[in-house]
Every structure is written in structure tokens, then in C-alpha cells.
Structure 1
Amino acid sequence: MSEMIKVGMADLNVCISPNAITTLGLGSCVGIVLYDPIKKIAGMVHVMLPDSTKILNNENKAKFADTGIDELIRQMLTIGADRKSLIAKIAGGAQMFAFSNNSDMMRIGERNVEATKLKLQQLGIPIRAEDTGLNYGRTIEFYPETGELLIKSVGKERKIL
């Protein structure tokens, strides 16, 4: 019997097939799935902010793209994932509200996506699929057995990446 493992906001978790993993309500946040397709081990982090070095109260590693990805990899390796096999799929990073000025503070979704891509590039982890940006929220489910990332959004067709 398989289980759907939940990941909250500024949270992360790992799973092994046949279990699956999900996070709800990605707006400007980014859901990052890392996956070892050989061992069918997956991890997901729901990051809220791009950079832990810009925030004083930053002990929650899962809140930030830079520290959340590192912590996710660490936890995946402890349950048997192979670092060299990891691939990524990402979703979220929406611009949820229209603003008249284009200040960095208002571009949080875009900045989360940029920080995620930069960190994965630095780590040498290829992004195999993404559904990012635009102006709507997403709920994602990842199935390590098939490697499929299901994306659900209100009023939109379901997507499988």
C-alpha cells in the first residue's frame, strides 16, 4: 500500500517508491523535486525565498532555495539515493499579484526560480522539466515509480511533466 507524503510550505521531505510526494499551494514559492531514477528515490522542497544570506532569521533551511536544495540532497543520500544520478523537476514561481512598480521585492516568484536554477546548475543537477512563472498557483505530486510530476491548477488542464 503506497502513501502520499505531504510537504508543507518552507518544508521538505523524501520518499521511496511506491510512495509519492506532494505539496499544495505553490504561488511565488517553488517546488523542487530531486529524483534518483535508478533507485526510485525522490525528495521535494517547497521554498519560499531565494537566498538565506539576505535574511537574519534563517535557521529553517527548507525556506530558502540555496539551503533547501543542499538539505534535500543530504536527506536523500541518507536513504540511499546516488548523488550522480539526481535529476530535477521544478514548478511554481508565479507572479501572483500585479504591481505597478517592478521592484525586486515584488518579483519574488521570478527570483525564486532564478535562485533554484542557479543552485542546481552549480551542483551539476540537470533540470529535466519545469512549469514556472505566469500568474497562477500550482499543486504538485511526484511519483518516483514513473518519474511523473503531476501539476494541478484551478481552471487549468492537468499537466504531467
Structure 2
Amino acid sequence: MSHTKIGLKNGLTPEIEKQLGEFASLAKTYSYSPYSKFRVGAALLAESGNVFLGCNVENASYGGAICAERTAVVKAVSSGEKKYLAIAITSDQNDFISPCGFCRQFMVEFGKKLIVLLVTAEGKVKKFTLEELLPLSFGPDNLENRNDL
């Protein structure tokens, strides 16, 4: 399953947030993590209602690995979607996991107001904006007013 669509007529409701957590859990099942054994899944909700799934994909050279969050964003962008409402992220742990710094920087390219749902394996949720997770970030807004580009 590369992506699915959900209705957004009532906005980002608790029911939709729960669905995103479930989609992230599904995405986690596709993880390729033979080295760390640390499966991560992400479900990225675009403004259109399309949901893009991502999982972590490891590589023997370690640096060639890609996180679940970036996988979901790359799938969305390569499908023509660049405006997002929320992303749910989960692992097999009962603790909350948070996007790494590289993923935070990668996602801020598409908006600081992105809702980030951290979901435990048990289904507990913590909700943040990307701006809360990456305060004082550097992004497109920092470049728009530059005259020397």
C-alpha cells in the first residue's frame, strides 16, 4: 500500500489522528531494519486527504539508511503533494519516539505548523507542532527575502 485517502470535512479530528496512528503501525510492518531491529512507521496526511506511508529502510553502509518520516515525505512529494497537515510516527516501543534532527529539518521544509503525533506501540499519543520540536529552525522562510540568490 503506497497511500490511501481519508475524508477531512471536519478537519483533523481525534478519530483521524487515531487512524493516522494505525496507518503508521501498518507502515512499520514494511520496515527493512536487519541491523538495528528498530522498526519505525510513519503516516503523513496531506491537505488533499491523501495519506502516505513510510518506513525506515536501513543499509549496510549505515549512512545510506532513510528514516520512516523522510520516506513518507519523499513518497508524497514524488506524487505531487507538498502541503501537509500531520504525521504520525510509531515504533515497537512503549515509549514515545521522536523524529531525529535530520528528519525534523527535512520536514520543516514543508511547514513549521505540521502536527507531529508520537504514537507508542500501545497506542498512546503525544501531539506537537514541528515548530515545538524544532524551535528557531532554518527553512525556506529564511531564504525568501534574500536578494543575492
What is the TM-score of this pair, normalised by structure 1?
0.43
| Greater relative contact order (CA < 8 Å, ≥ 6 in sequence) | 1
